[in-house]
Structure 1
Amino acid sequence: MSLIAFLGAIEIGLVYALVALGVFLSFRILNFPDLTVDGSFPLGAATTATLIVGGLDPILATLVGAAAGACAGLVTAWLNVRFGILHLLASILTMIALFSVMLRIMGKPNVALINQDTVLNLFTWLSPAIASLGLPARSTLKVVVLAIIVAIAGLALGRFLTSEFGLAMRATGANPRMARAQGISTKLHIYVGMALSNALVALGGAMFAQTAGFADVTTGTGTIVQGLAAVILGETIIRTRSIGLMLLACVIGSILYRIVIALALNTSWLGLEASDLNLVLAVLIGLGLILPKVGNPLKTLFRRSA
């Protein structure tokens, strides 16, 4: 695999690390199966791209894109909490509606960001230093910028989940009945958690649009699968109860997930092609689910010998 392909895998892995953080918050913290992410990811991309083309500052456009994702999460939470609609069904309804919303926002199926100012342009002063190291300036710059954004998002989420409000949210997901008995407003924490989760996913979509150079209504297909795969793979590699390490595991899982896919599709002796991507995804997710349940054979051997 070439250096460009390797950096590209890290780049897309960092983009989906934001998705993994959002999926971790909804699935693991709130215990809320949420398929809204398949809509909030392209929603963040569509909103951000449209605003940038319209002349808005790229940082402000990115924040608005994340806010749009938060609104989508609030709609799903509202359908579930206010009307008692099942988690999955509520999120599917929101996801379906978001397709039309994105078409309204963009006015067409896709928007190009060619020759437009993006967040990346704010860091172009790093390009000479990167080039002096013999690295591809453009590809490496994307990785550096995305790493900074993921680090800020991860640290902020970790700080939030260890705060008093965050602990109450974790209690809401672990045991809502007990949480209510302790005077915790579980409805409020579901609203806030779902808004934050989808804001992170939409932020990933906003950064995808700016690094890829376009926003398209179809970019959200399979987002939930990739987010879950990153979380599962990260948990398989790093088994811990520390919130900070769990968030780090999501990021590492997302990056490794994309690198493994890139390696598989760029290794000619395996005979894999781009059309085999879904097969590779299924195998990786399956291994991630199986490995934690497989005992260490060395431990079993030592126990028998003892």
Structure 2
Amino acid sequence: MKAGLALGAAGSVPADARRAEALGFDYLACGEHLFFQVAPNPFVELAAAAAVTTRIRLVSTVSLLPLYPAALAAKLAATLDQVAQGRFELGVGAGGEAPAEFEAVGVDPAERFRRLDEGLEVLRLLFRGGPVSYEGTYTRLRDVALDPPPVQPGGPPIWLGGRKDGAIRRAGRFASTWLPYMVTPEQLRAGLDGVRAAAAGHGRDPSSVGAALFAFACADPDAGRARRAGIDYVSAAYRQDFAPLADRYLLLGSPGAVARRIREFAAAGADTVILQVAAAPEDRDRVLDTIAHDVLPELR
């Protein structure tokens, strides 16, 4: 099973990226919000990470595609793939938790799913290379091409975030990886079955679409301390008490317990886990070391 690490504070990205690569993580990840939670811009952070690493792959988890003109998103992704020398994977989602983000860029939140679908079509066309013409609701292209194109043939692999029916259908149509969060192993298994059924319905090989789990994690030899730290972190991020949901959706406890829970998701079909360290800033390095040295080996 592959493992990724969500980057921390923007100011520490170069150091965090070097460290994650040295610790043996397979992916560096970065999410996105404009005005919701403390969130950076993945194109900027992952470009900084690409400049100081050579092996680790980079994935946005996720970029809010409806906030961008589709052609601009394609250009940013292609440029980042060039900077990373073919190590970038583009995770996208619809967003919607914070309507103010959409209003700030002149996008109606009610249009976000239509914009996401059209944006994915445009990305796929532009990533193929060569001139493209396209007439959509939000995008008009007249015989244009990305130059330089992405390094990877066909463009960066697409990850599709979300756990609802629309996201499942969309992942089957467009994605190489479905990325749910706040799910149980049972939900992941059922969702992946749906994703692969949708892929077959679009003439794709169902086995060509995999699943990755995004999860908040805190591991410590003192399982109680890990649980308290993780619940406090996620409760603050989402502005609600996460204690009743912790056992269902968070990866908290001793290293062995966290590894066992991740293996349950692997058995349900996940081939990758992206971990967001759920700990206060002063404890993040210690928890990260515990995950790297005591959890990752159990997943290999």
More strand by share: 2
Higher RCO (CA-CA < 8 Å; seq separation 6+): 1
TM range (shorter): under 0.3
Normalising by structure 2, we get a TM-score of 0.26
Normalising by structure 1, we get a TM-score of 0.26
